[in-house]
Amino acid sequence: MSEFISLVVNGILIGGVYALVGLAIVVIYKSSSVFNFAVGDFVMWGGFVMWTFLVAFDLPIWASILFAVVVMAIIGLLTNRLLISPMAGQPLLAVVLLTLGLSYLLKGVHSAAWGPTWKAFPPLLPSGKLTLGSISFSADYMWCFIIAMVAFGIFSYLFQRTRMGLAMRATAEDHQLARSTGISVKTIFSATWILAALLCLVAGVLLGSVNNLGPQLADIGLKGFPVVLFGGLESVVGCIVGGIVVGVLENLGAAYLNPLVGGGIEEVVPFVVMLLVLMFKPYGLFGLKRIERL
């Protein structure tokens, strides 16, 4: 029983990071209905950009964070300006496929720049095992979760309490109406891409330091999809729940089902459960209810 609880707790902790990846998808999807298939590659890039400043250039941590933030923000901005914006007026499917192309582009540039090898961060988070009664979990997972939740909190503040956040929510509802109130929808799209890239940076650094940093980090994108589909593509709260559900399912699958089928099941379980959820709740657990009286 205590093993089960430990698995669940560790799943919840890593799920916090998955929630960030989900949020990076949702923030763009909400405002422009573009599903960013390159999200996993942004996460990988986030990890490697940080690694470059911190390890390769041997800069102090605060400077590395600062430069990584700037670089990822620029990548987010350029993606929107050079790839997404020029597609305005084209079918949405074309734009979404373009993000798929972007994913391969980022993978290609990544392997040219950093090669296929694994890198490692110096220990950024406190390591070791923590125990709480009979439950045990690793300290770095706990810190991961805490930092992810802080990032989530900052995002929620921006989204709910600031002028820019209000403009994002307004844009998410009605582009034409937003423009009629003077909101520059183009600027808002850029802002959402920058925000998404920064969320991916946080996720990439956290995942890169609890595991190692390699090209496989891009596969995290595959976890982002069940996260947002669980939560409902437009729900910010849904991201947290979705992230945690995926983290827990993955851990339980790995522990209890892998011995039976011989490995790899943890990748599949979240998708199976996602399909079941979608069968009964097509808009996800927290999907926006359409307001019918209008």
Partner 1 sequence: MGGLRLRIGDNDMLILNSVEVVYSNVILVLRGVSLQVPEGAIVSLLGANGAGKTTTLKSISGLLGTELGDVTHGNIEFDGQRIDRSEPEDIVKLGIVQVMEGRRQFGHLSVEENLRAGAYTRHNGASLKRDLDMVYGYFPRLKALRRATSGYCSGGEQQMLVIGRALMAHPKLILLDEPSLGLAPLLVEEIFGIVKNINEEEGTSVLLVEQNAMAALGIASYGYVMENGRVVLDGSAEKLRENEDIREFYLGLSQLGKRKSYREVKHYKRRKRWLG
For partner 1, the closer CB: 234 or 250: 234
Q: CB neighbours (10 Å) of residue 148?
A: 26
Q: Which is nearer to partner 1, 130 or 164 (CB)?
A: 164
Is 164 or 257 the residue whose CB approaches partner 1 more closely?
164
Mark residues 105-144: x for contact with partner 1 by CB under 8 A, - for none.
Answer: ----------------------------------------
* Residue 160: CB minimum distance to partner 1, A: 9
Q: Is 92 in the site for partner 1 (CB under 8 A)?
A: no
Q: Residue 239 CB, nearest distance to partner 1 (Å)?
A: 17
Which is closer to partner 1, CB of 38 or CB of 236? 236
Q: Give the shortest CB-31-to-partner 1 separation in angstroms.
A: 13
Q: Are 247 and 196 in contact (CB under 8 A)?
A: no
CA dist list (Å): 83 to 36, 98, 100, 101: 12, 8, 12, 10
Can you tell me which of 166, 261, 275, 276 binds partner 1, judged by CB under 8 A? 166
Q: Which two tokens stand for residue 238?
A: 């849904």
288 binds partner 1 (CB under 8 A): yes
Per-residue binder mask for partner 1 (CB under 8 A), 172-211, x = binder: -xxxxxxxxxxxx---------------------------
- Rounded CA separation 28/17 (Å): 18
What is the longest distance spanned by two Cα atoms in the chain?
Answer: 59
The token pair at 139 is 């300290």
Q: Which stretch binds partner 1 (CB under 8 A): 107-115, 125-133, 151-159, 163-171?
A: 163-171
Minimum CB distance to partner 1, residue 80 (Å) = 17
Q: Nearest CA to 274 among 223, 202, 214?
A: 223
Contact window for partner 1 (CB under 8 A) among 34-42, 110-118, 169-177, 278-286: 169-177
Binding site for partner 1 (CB under 8 A): 163, 166-167, 169-170, 173-184, 288, 291, 293-294
